[in-house]
Amino acid sequence: MSQDNISELSQEAALPPSEKVVQWALAAMAQQQWALAAERWAVLRQAYPELPAVWIQAGACCRHLEQWETSQFFLETAVERFPDNPYALLELATLEQARDRPVRAGQLLELARQRFPNQLPVLLKSADHALDQSDDTVALAYNSEARKKYSADVTPWVQYANIAMRQQQWSVALERWSEVRQRFPQHPAGYNRAAEAASQLGDDRKARQLLLAREYGQEWLESFEKPEEDLQILDNKISPPTRRHWLAFIDLVWTKARLNLKSEANQNHLRYLWWIIDPMLYMAVFYLVFGLLLHRGGGGDFIVFLLTGLVPFQWFAKTVQQSSNSIVAGQGLMHQVRISPLFFPLVGVLQNTGKQLPVFALLLGFLTLYGLPPNIYWLAFIPIVLLQFFLMAIASCFVAMLVPFVRDLSNLIPTGIQFILFCSGVFYSPDTIPEQWHSLFFANPMANILYQYRRVLMDHQWPDWSGMGWVLLGCLLAGVLLLWFYKRVEGILPRVVV
């Protein structure tokens, strides 16, 4: 306990029957407005001279203002008028300490221990005084007596850990704060002060865990120290015993994505119109550079060629990039309820799909006005979109589950997407690539999918079903690998994201 803690203790113990009488003055003390508080105590002292608080707290205010003689007068008066109240003696001892009179403070505490041998504040203040005098053995003795007599009270246990902190025994402090958390799991000092001790030891990871544990609980913190075989037992204690049905899971993903879309639209003045303006501006930039300045592209209808490549690729790029960090961002929800980590990237995939649908509608409308009206081959547009959706879901989930283990990967994703952009034929036709490189080019699934879009929308042909089949087969194999990886890391992923 610091020298100010006696005042805090007496704020509760010396309250009159009606708390409203003194709350007026205590409010000023809480804001450390000592002069104002002293004036208010003077007013209350005229009206309620029989209350211990009006004398003791006035002495505390004068001590903070370094009005030593006035403070001493109030406190000595309180000692004389209220011999059964220990806080007057304790506050007087605090005053003597502030005036650098440790001997006199020790004498007052000795008198307090004689009059009130079993009072918790007396034992705590005695321990603090002994510690100030570098008498660690005596300090621990008083604290031990307090913990023995008041084992259900958090205060002596916090002081016990703080003694180690003052002695800079950080490892010992961590052990004592752990005991505080075991006995009083809701007390914030068991986490905050322990995090300070961990930081002093250079264990920043432990410090972060302790700070997060204040929100997620002691059992969550203990999971970092349990053997792997015990984690499933702990997970069942913290989380619901059974998983949601897969249909309910899909409904949850759909609901979350829908609400995210609505929330995102409400943040802008133009609301849903931005879902069309943003891709149009993006495509205009590329058309200006590659179509007008560099004269690159796939023939005379370059604007059609560009749009049929950029619109699907922008869907892919935004989805993968935004979903990549979704599991890390969703760690708070993951530690409160039992939910599959795949929930977070799948919400991102569905959310971006909802924003992409009006862009596809705009693209099809533009093609119609440009002289490429709907025809029978447009029916194949739907399976191509579904195939791309499947590809993005697999890629987004895979990347999102890797990022918590390798955080630096999130910095490489934009570069990787940019590389795929230039390897997918967005700005050039596959016909410009030498024949021996065609197999390697179409091994890129996005290059294959963009090629199918253009066959259907520009060339009025059915897609290359065999090429789509290879992409589908690759997605299925990647999906199996994803599920295997998910089963391996599902149990540890909530802890890894910390």
Give the pLDDT confidence of 86-134 residue by residue, as tens digits: 898 899 899 888 888 889 988 888 898 888 888 889 889 998 888 888 8
Average pLDDT of the chain to the nearest whole number = 81
The percent of residues in the chain predicted with pLDDT above 90, rounded, is 17
Pair 280, 215 in one domain: no
Record the tokens describing residue 204, joined without a space. 């920043």
Q: What is the mean pLDDT of residues 74-94?
A: 89
Domain range for 456: 246-496
Record the tokens describing residue 115, joined without a space. 């009059």
Instruction: List the Cα angle 379/384/388 in 5-degree steps.
Output: 155
Q: Taking Cα atoms as reference points, which of 83, 11, 12, 66 lies closest to residue 41?
A: 11
- The 10s digit of each residue's pLDDT in 413-457 is 889 988 998 888 887 888 888 888 888 888 899 999 999 999 999
Q: Are 487 and 324 in contact (CB under 8 A)?
A: no
Record the tokens describing residue 290, joined without a space. 């590659």
Pair 365, 480 in one domain: yes
Weakest-pLDDT range from 7-16, 240-249, 350-359: 7-16
Pair 176, 284 in one domain: no
Pair 144, 168 in one domain: no
Pair 120, 1 in one domain: yes
Pair 262, 357 in one domain: yes
Tell me the pTM. 0.51
CATH number of the domain bearing residue 130: 1.25.40.10
Q: Taking Cα atoms as reference points, which of 133, 192, 186 lies closest to residue 162?
A: 192
Three-state SS at 297: coil
pLDDT band at 394 (very low <50, low <70, confident <90, very high): very high
Pair 184, 306 in one domain: no
pLDDT band at 361 (very low <50, low <70, confident <90, very high): confident
- Determine, yes or no, domain membership for 431: yes
Pair 139, 169 in one domain: no
Pair 279, 364 in one domain: yes
Pair 325, 216 in one domain: no
pLDDT at 422: 87
Report the distance separating Cα 55 and Cα 76, nearest Å. 9
Q: Are 352 and 326 in contact (CB under 8 A)?
A: no
Pair 144, 175 in one domain: no
Q: Taking Cα atoms as reference points, which of 343, 311, 347 lies closest to residue 450?
A: 311
Which residue type is seen at 173?
A
Name all contacts of 229-234 with Cβ < 8 Å and 24+ positions apart.
231/491, 231/492, 232/491
CB atoms within 10 A of CB 374: 12
Pair 168, 192 in one domain: yes
Instruction: List the Cα angle 379/381/387 in 5-degree steps.
Output: 125
Q: Structural domain tally of the chain? A: 3
Report the distance separating Cα 445 and Cα 470, nearest Å. 9
- Determine, yes or no, domain membership for 237: no
pLDDT at 236: 45
